[in-house]
Amino acid sequence: MSEEQFTNWSMGILLTGLIIFMGFIIYDLGKKSNAGKTGMIALFIVLGFGVVGFVFKNVLVEFILLK
């Protein structure tokens, strides 16, 4: 396995784990602050926008580089 292959695999696996962990952190933050249903939805939308933006940026970069 080359270094490039290892980097691609590890980035995919570790970033997926990080995104799942960030979802748990957002959930825990809402639970500890007694945010309720509406507050929890707002937390996931607002704080989840950063994760969605990061993933979307990577998809766009890959799409542009493939052309």
pLDDT in tens, the chain (67 residues): 889 899 889 988 998 899 899 999 999 999 999 989 999 999 999 988 888 888 888 888 888 877 6
Q: Enumerate the domain spans of the chain.
A: 3-66
Q: Residue 50 and residue 1: Cα distance in Å, rounded?
A: 33
Instruction: Compute the CA torsion angle 38, 52, 28, 40 (nearest 10 deg).
Output: 0
pLDDT value for 15: 87
Q: Residue 45 and residue 36: Cα distance in Å, rounded?
A: 14
Segments in 1-67 forming alpha helices (H): 3-32, 36-66
- Which amino acid is residue 50, in one-letter code? G
Q: Residue 9 and residue 51: Cα distance in Å, rounded?
A: 19
